[in-house]
Structure 1
Amino acid sequence: MATTADRPLGDLADAEVFEDVLYRVSYKLDGTPAAGDTYKLDGTPAAGDTYKRRRALNTALEHAVLVGELPENPLQRARRKHVGATDVVDRRVLVNAVQARQLLMSVSCVGSWDRCRGRRLVAFCAVLYYAALRPAEAVGMRWSDCHLPTTGWGTLTLRETRPVSGKRWTDSGERHDRRGLKSREATTDRPVPIPPVLVEILQIHLKEFGTAKEGRVFGNERGGLVGSSTYWRVWEEAREYALAPERAESPLAGRPYDLRHACITRWLNAGVPIAEVARRVGNSPEVIHRRYHGCIDGHEEVANAKIAKFMEEEGDSI
């Protein structure tokens, strides 16, 4: 029986609402992860808790379509979206090293010096550019997740993500949900090696601002979670400072997330194998290849040189 606290069934047609439903299907009522989907060797699904729940959800959704409560089964739509995704990264959003440094410097200039509005977010933006973190991963990062040696490379071991869901839709009543890493089991972490320049930036940040509540590396002026609206506003102002007017009106680094795209592209152009890039950023190699294949410089020239060398060895020359 429906109550006044229940959401209308028709809300499931909203993609964001349904994505949240799919996320919650993978957890038990006590907040612990349900057993993940498992598969037999012949490809047929086994009896994982999450699979059984999705199967029951699919049955209920099919009935809702049959009785006219929903125009289509959103679970089927989600599958089609996953299979046919064409979210290729636009090269126009990618910054080079000089532009990235200018943007980070401009972030520090946003707001008054005493309130530190921009300076608190320099390291936040830096982990997106130098370690390819997602913003929600940076929000949830803790001091205990950081290995910052005095010399050489360090490591960030990511364990959770804090996306904005709204107070009404989180178990804690906070605006930021508490989740495991994207596309991974809830208890799985992801170590990311970081270069000395980022190690130094984080050391300076922690020395100046300390840690926020729960030992988090980044926090607002009250020690709370950094809101998406906060870093978005700072980023928009920083772009105005750092970029020429025609650049500021272009898609170049239009979102903080574009710093992650720039980092991934740098690694690929440096020759890091796709599988290793995928491991560091928390995607599959297939996703990395699909999304960034148009951002890799010089691959045609390298391929042509290999073909020309082979043709020469075969004696196939003019």
Structure 2
Amino acid sequence: MPKSESAEYEINPFTKEERDSIIQAFEESKLYSYYVPLVKLLFFTGCRPSEAIALQWKHISDKYITFEQAITISTKGLALKDGLKTQSQRRFPINNQQREILDSIKPENCNPDDFIFRSKKGGIVDFGDFLNHAWKGYKNHRGTHIDGIVTQLVKQGVVTEYRKPYQCRHTFITLCLEADIDAKDVGRWVGNSPEIIYKHYAGNKRNLQVPEL
């Protein structure tokens, strides 16, 4: 399986409690609290990271988030690409949870072409930087390892094992299935076919029980 696809189906979701602990830890972080809206949107929409950081305010309506582009890494750095991995675009119905996230960061007089999520310096979020600093951690110039948020939570025993940010997507899909939402609807929200949902996610339902027939 190509590397890009392996991340798509290496499914090891966080529990709901782990998800909430990660969000809380970002909220309480002096260094990385500005990433809270991004982390929340990843957990609460199941979108791919490349789709989240490509969102502009023109993609938000009263009822929907329209995903139709992605940020990719090119030889010249970060690049904006039209279309998504498996489709040209998809619409995600906004609920109160997502609306609250977006309203909390929307400027009063925002430009429709402005990106929703910004780096600390105001530019497009470099997801590699987010992963290797805020999420996982890094070695400083002295060779000392500085733990990121999730690595800290693993060491504290709050999160059972380290997992990459892509698992936010898998967490959303898994929790939807555990809430008995039809795989066709979940697939429509996240840009996967029902067959993919059944094949890769339905078997991972933690509370799956044999019914009394």
> Scaled by the length of structure 2, what TM-score is found?
0.80
- Is the counterpart of residue 126 in structure 1 residue 6 in structure 2? no
CA shift digits 1:157-187 (9 cap, x unpaired): 11111122331xxxxxx42342311111xxx
Higher RCO (CA < 8 A, seq sep 6+) = 2
Residues 166 and 145 of structure 1, relative CA distance in 2, 3 Å threshold: same
RMSD between superposed Cα atoms in Å: 2.9
Structure 1 gaps, min length 5 = 1-14, 20-81, 113-117, 149-153, 168-173, 309-318
After superposition, residues 61-210 of structure 1 pair within 5 angstroms as 88-90=9-11, 93-112=12-31, 118-148=32-62, 154-167=63-76, 174-184=77-87, 188-207=88-107
Q: What is the Cα deviation at residue 276 of structure 1?
A: 1.1
For 1:242 and 1:194, the matched residues in 2 are separated by 30
SS at 1:219's partner residue?
coil
SS at 1:175's partner residue?
strand
For 2:54 and 2:167, the matched residues in 1 are separated by 19
Q: What is the Cα deviation at residue 136 of structure 1?
A: 0.2
For 2:159 and 2:75, the matched residues in 1 are separated by 30
Paired residue for 1:277, among 177, 180, 186?
186
Q: What is the Cα deviation at residue 249 of structure 1?
A: 6.8
Q: Percent identity?
A: 22
For 1:195 and 1:97, the matched residues in 2 are separated by 18
Residues 211 and 136 of structure 1, relative CA distance in 2, 3 Å threshold: farther
Q: Does the 8 Å CA contact 1:162/1:177 hold for their aligned counterparts?
A: yes
Q: Does the 8 Å CA contact 1:165/1:177 hold for their aligned counterparts?
A: no
For 1:214 and 1:147, the matched residues in 2 are separated by 14
SS at 1:176's partner residue?
strand
Paired residue for 1:220, among 116, 119, 128?
119
Structure with bigger gyration radius: 1
Residues 226 and 287 of structure 1, relative CA distance in 2, 3 Å threshold: same
Q: Does the 8 Å CA contact 1:120/1:205 hold for their aligned counterparts?
A: no
Q: Does the 8 Å CA contact 1:128/1:135 hold for their aligned counterparts?
A: yes
For 2:28 and 2:207, the matched residues in 1 are separated by 36
Moved more, 274-283 or 94-103: 94-103
CA shift digits 1:242-269 (9 cap, x unpaired): 4453455724xx1111111000001111
Q: What is the Cα deviation at residue 147 of structure 1?
A: 2.7
Paired residue for 2:204, among 295, 298, 301?
295
Q: Does the 8 Å CA contact 2:54/2:70 hold for their aligned counterparts?
A: yes
Structure 2 gaps, min length 5 = 137-147
Choose between structure 1 and 2: higher strand proportion: 2
Aligned residues, how many? 200
2:161 counterpart residue number? 250
